[in-house]
Amino acid sequence: MRKIWVTINPWDKNMVTTALEGGADGVLVPAGYSEKVKQLGKILTIAEDGDLKPGQDVVHFEITRCEDEEEIIRLAREKTVILGCRDWTIIPLENLIARDVNVVTQVKTVQEAKTALGILEKGVGHLLINADSPATLKQILSAVREKGDTTPLQEAEITAIVPVGMGDRVCVDTCTAMTEGQGMLVGNSSSALFLIHSESVVNPYVAPRPFRINAGAVHAYTRVPGGKTRYLSELAAGDRIFITDYQGNTTEGVVGRLKIEKRPLMLIKAVVDGKEIATIVQNAETIRLTSPEGAPVSVVGLKPGDRVLVSMEAGGRHFGYKIEETITEK
């Protein structure tokens, strides 16, 4: 899960407030100011009197030559490494990202932040923003938060829609007001997830609830930050989830609450590239999948031959973590 830190040195209350309001995950402040930060809001502090301590938990490393990469890799096994470059360049970052080394990359401008987040189509996992003013900091934070991950989506062809009787289904109420084309990836298998549309659709039955995804049965999987999957039934208030749109743009959302209720359920089967996949959702007009064009498609109107968006993944999962192993789920 990508983390965003902000350097505030010298101390500046307005900069701290801007960092908090912009969704920063941590602030690096001078010694003696950690408590002042905590008085303004709950956020991680990096300081001699902070949650993370320079030299002990966090180290700065100035990279000057290719050989330095090995030392960075060694340090990153035990500490968080803040990387410095005399001439800001993406080459050292490309090498480290390619070797799956997570370092903190320093940026000063919106363009530097966007470049860092686009390296090797994966981006760095951790940014430290060194802004010269609250206005610049606000711009960078806004650009960083808009730049989410991308999840490749494919078209699947519906093959069967079968009522299966009563069961427990999960509504995920988020802290995000979603728009048309957005929802959550959910499925019977962690390697095959359907894009379940949010309840942002105007309809004659109930008022829109753009914060809600009627996601599916309690056993179903969904992907969450950190490269993991979780069962829908495991989610709880405050947990982070992924919100994905029909173009694959993926951002983090926060669970506000979970509603688990007994409802009539429906099994949906589909095929993609010759592979059969499935998910189980509530049997109701207001539950929708997503068409390749981003339109919500009600499950009660689905028919064989219809095409919907799914996310496929090679390999399997063990306790939610991706592994290179063949696992069959039916």
pLDDT value of residue 317:
43
pLDDT value of residue 323:
45
Residues forming beta bridges with residue 136, ordered by sequence position? none
For the chain, the helix, strand and coil percentages under 3-state DSSP, each to the nearest 5: 20, 45, 40
pLDDT above 70: percentage of residues in the chain: 83
pLDDT value of residue 122:
47
Q: Indicate the pTM of the whole model.
A: 0.67
CB-facing half-sphere around the CA of 30: CA atoms within 13 A: 5
- The token pair that represents 235 in the structure block: 């989610």
- 3-147 has which fold? TIM Barrel (3.20.20)
Distance (Å, whole) CA 280 – CA 282: 7
pLDDT value of residue 175:
94
Distance (Å, whole) CA 49 – CA 60: 17
Mean pLDDT to the nearest integer, 125-138: 89
The string of pLDDT tens digits covering residues 301-318 is 999 999 999 999 865 544
pLDDT value of residue 121:
45
pLDDT value of residue 91:
52
Q: Say if residue 2's pLDDT is above 80.
A: no
Q: Say if residue 125's pLDDT is above 70.
A: no
CB-facing half-sphere around the CA of 78: CA atoms within 13 A: 6
Residues forming beta bridges with residue 84, ordered by sequence position? 62
pLDDT value of residue 286:
92
Angle, CA 238 vertex, CA 237 and CA 243 arms, to 5°: 95
pLDDT value of residue 93:
59
- Of 123-137, 260-274, 275-289, least confident by mean pLDDT is 123-137
- Sequence-ordered alpha helix ranges (H) in the chain: 13-21, 34-40, 68-76, 91-98, 110-118, 134-146
Q: Say if residue 181's pLDDT is above 90.
A: yes
Most confident region among 34-43, 83-92, 145-154 by mean pLDDT: 34-43
| Best CA proximity match to 168, nearest among 123, 131, 128, 220 | 220
Of the two residues 102 and 78, the one the predictor is more confident about is: 78
Of the two residues 67 and 296, the one the predictor is more confident about is: 296
Q: Say if residue 77's pLDDT is above 70.
A: yes
Is residue 70 within 8 Å of residue 51, measured between CB atoms? Answer: no
Q: What is the dihedral of CA 76, 114, 310, 321, to 10 degrees?
A: 10
Per-residue pLDDT band for 320 (boundaries 50, 70, 90) equals: very low
Given the candidates 1.10.3470, 2.60.40, 2.170.16, 3.40.50, the CATH classification of the domain at 154-323 is 2.170.16
Cβ atoms within 10 Å of 207's Cβ, excluding its own: 7
Q: Say if residue 319's pLDDT is above 70.
A: no
| Best CA proximity match to 20, nearest among 46, 2, 3, 40 | 40
Domain definitions of the chain by residue range: 3-147, 154-323
Q: Say if residue 36's pLDDT is above 50.
A: yes
Q: Is 122 exposed, middle or buried (0-12, 13-18, 19+ CB in 10 A)?
A: middle
The string of pLDDT tens digits covering residues 38-69 is 999 999 999 999 999 998 888 887 776 666 77
Residue 178 C-alpha from the chain's centroid: 15
The enclosing H or E element of 191 equals none
| Residue in the block written with tokens 């808009």 | 146
| CA distance readout (Å), 90 to 83, 87, 96, 139, 290 | 12, 10, 10, 22, 37
| Best CA proximity match to 128, nearest among 17, 26, 36, 240 | 26
Is residue 187 within 8 Å of residue 280, measured between CB atoms? Answer: no
Is residue 289 within 8 Å of residue 183, measured between CB atoms? Answer: no
The string of pLDDT tens digits covering residues 104-120 is 888 888 888 877 776 53
